[in-house]
């Protein structure tokens, strides 16, 4: 029995030595030994081979069918006025009684049916369906037997993901988080000199890089000359909590969020000792003026790190960008937009918080093939003269959506857990009412 435990301890030491020498040290200093590149090359070739086999098996039925969210409903991008005008074109003008006609009901009926069949909002809170299977059961629940070779490769993939990659990634994540807590706590004991802030940034970036390697992350950063600078606010579209790791691997940011308990609370308290993050109590988060003041005080100090904020307020499935909350755009400072786009072929990065807990989600990510994404740093943006916070937020959102190839939606991400506000319904009713009244008044003047 003693020999068994001695052998297990020896194997554990070898395991940790290999991780430290081959993965941790290279990741800490921002270079690679080429192991991840070889893994990605083999993975891409394997997925391409699997796709060809699936397409060959489905050749009798044509190409793979896209999901319902990819074109089942062909919507026109025209306004209510244009669509109603097209609908009314074939009917005579009523002599009296305004411009209302029963045929207008068809427009609203069609809009309702389209929303039921292909809802633009709720489908953004479910995982994106892939046209081609990526050998992960969770991305194709209807997968059927195609060939023995494909089944064997799928089984081998399960062994690789769960027996090799998952233990490796869990080990790296535990080490990265532990070092983050220990390192930031140690740096927090130093006096507030320049070296303290330099060490704090170094510790944050190194630990986030270790965590990124723990997810087999392959990140391509574009336009680094536009990286956020101190004294500003960085805003980005939000897909998962991993967005923080993705951005902080390339630079250090001050976080904004609610104070938590448990493990997350330990991490928050350790981080704030070495770096001025902005954590709020639950009661403070409801005080909008207090939040705005804290943020203004932070950005006015040009020595402090740029604040990282996700204005959507919830995770979206990386197919679109939804309404930005206006709070961070009322500060009156420089906004640095960042677009993040994940490649779903290697793993689904979207966190459906209403379906999966944080632990469950992280385990799913650690048993995926890899995390591949592109990050674009957009030029700094400022609020223009005569532009209010809402208009500024929409302009920034549109720029992020355009750069990331995402759909620009006006809907509030809060609809993930709440119903449509009555004010929005009233807004649509007023829009139609004003159109009818306007047409009525114009017909009377004629």
The DSSP code sequence of 190-240 is S-SSHHHHHHHHHHHHHHHHHHHHTTTEEEEEE-GGG---TTSEEEE--S-
Q: Is residue 122 in a domain?
A: no
For the residues 387-406, what does the mean pLDDT come to? 92
- Min mean pLDDT across 103-107, 174-178, 231-235 is at 103-107
Q: Is residue 237 part of a domain?
A: yes
Which residues are paired to 219 by β-bridges? 373
Across residues 70-75, what is the average pLDDT? 52
Q: What is the mean pLDDT of residues 253-264?
A: 81
Within a domain: 430: no
Q: Is the pLDDT of residue 407 over 60?
A: yes
Inside any domain, residue 395:
yes
pLDDT cut 70: percent of the chain above it: 77
Tell whether pTM > 0.85: no
Residue 271 lies in a domain: yes
| Structural domain contains residue 312 | yes
Confidence of residue 82 (pLDDT cuts 50, 70, 90): low
The answer to whether residues 414 and 125 touch, using CB atoms and an 8 Å cutoff, is no
Q: What is the pLDDT of residues 126-180, one digit of tens each?
A: 777 776 778 876 555 555 667 788 888 888 989 999 998 999 899 888 888 898 8
Please state the domain count of the chain: 1
Strands 371-377 and 335-342, bridge-based pairing: antiparallel
Q: What is the per-residue pLDDT for 63? A: 46
Residue 95 lies in a domain: no
pLDDT the model gives residue 253: 92
The mean-pLDDT minimum among 53-57, 175-179, 201-205, 330-334 falls in: 53-57
pLDDT of residue 3: 76
Q: Is the pLDDT of residue 257 over 60?
A: yes
Instruction: Return all residues near 11 (Cβ < 8 A) that are at least 6 apart.
Output: none
pLDDT at 375 (0 to 100): 96
Which range has the worst mean pLDDT, 113-117, 333-337, 348-352?
113-117
Task: Flag whether pLDDT at 66 surpasses 50.
Answer: no
Q: What is the pLDDT of residue 144?
A: 60
Q: Does residue 266 have a pLDDT over 80? A: yes
Residue 225 resides in a domain: yes
Query: For residue 358, what are the domain limits?
Result: 148-422
């Amino acid at each position: 029995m003693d020999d068994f435990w001695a052998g297990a301890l020896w194997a554990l030491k070898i395991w940790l030595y290999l991780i430290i020498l081959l993965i941790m040290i290279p990741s800490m200093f921002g270079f690679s030994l080429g192991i991840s590149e070889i893994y990605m090359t083999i993975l891409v070739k394997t997925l391409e081979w699997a796709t060809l086999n699936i397409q060959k098996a489905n050749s009798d039925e044509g190409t793979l069918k896209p999901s319902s969210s990819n074109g089942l409903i062909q919507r026109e991008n025209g306004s209510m006025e244009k669509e109603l005008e097209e609908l009314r074109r074939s009917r005579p003008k009523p002599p009296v009684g305004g411009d209302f006609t029963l045929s207008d009901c068809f427009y609203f009926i069609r809009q309702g049916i389209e929303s039921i069949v292909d809802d633009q909002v709720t489908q953004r809170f479910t995982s994106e369906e892939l046209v081609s299977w990526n050998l992960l059961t969770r991305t194709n629940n209807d997968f059927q037997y195609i060939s023995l070779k494909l089944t064997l490769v799928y089984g081998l993939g399960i062994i690789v993901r769960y027996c090799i990659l998952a233990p490796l990634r869990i080990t790296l994540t535990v080490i990265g988080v532990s070092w983050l807590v220990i390192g930031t706590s140690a740096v927090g004991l130093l006096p507030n000199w320049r070296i303290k802030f330099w060490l704090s940034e170094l510790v944050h970036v190194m630990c986030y890089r270790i965590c990124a390697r723990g997810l087999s992350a392959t990140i391509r950063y574009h336009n680094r000359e536009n990286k956020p600078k101190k004294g500003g606010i960085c805003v980005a579209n939000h897909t998962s909590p991993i967005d923080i790791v993705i951005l902080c691997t390339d630079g250090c940011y001050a976080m904004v969020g609610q104070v938590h308990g448990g493990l997350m609370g330990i991490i928050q308290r350790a981080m704030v000792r070495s770096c001025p993050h902005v954590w709020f109590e639950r009661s403070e988060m409801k005080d909008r003026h207090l939040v705005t003041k804290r943020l203004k005080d932070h950005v006015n100090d040009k020595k402090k790190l740029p604040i990282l904020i996700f204005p959507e307020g919830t995770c979206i499935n990386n197919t679109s960008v939804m309404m930005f909350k206006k709070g961070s755009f009322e500060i009156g400072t420089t906004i640095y937009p960042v677009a993040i786009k994940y490649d779903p072929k290697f793993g689904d990065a979207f966190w459906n918080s209403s379906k999966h807990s944080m632990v469950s989600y992280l385990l799913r990510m650690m048993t995926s093939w890899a995390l591949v994404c592109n990050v674009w740093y957009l030029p700094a943006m400022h609020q223009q003269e005569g532009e209010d916070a809402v208009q500024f937020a929409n302009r920034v959102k549109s720029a992020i959506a355009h750069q990331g190839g995402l759909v620009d939606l006006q809907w509030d991400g809060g609809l993930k857990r709440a119903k449509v506000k009555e004010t929005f319904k009233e807004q649509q009713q007023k829009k139609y009412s004003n159109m009818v009244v306007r047409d009525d008044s114009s017909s009377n003047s004629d």
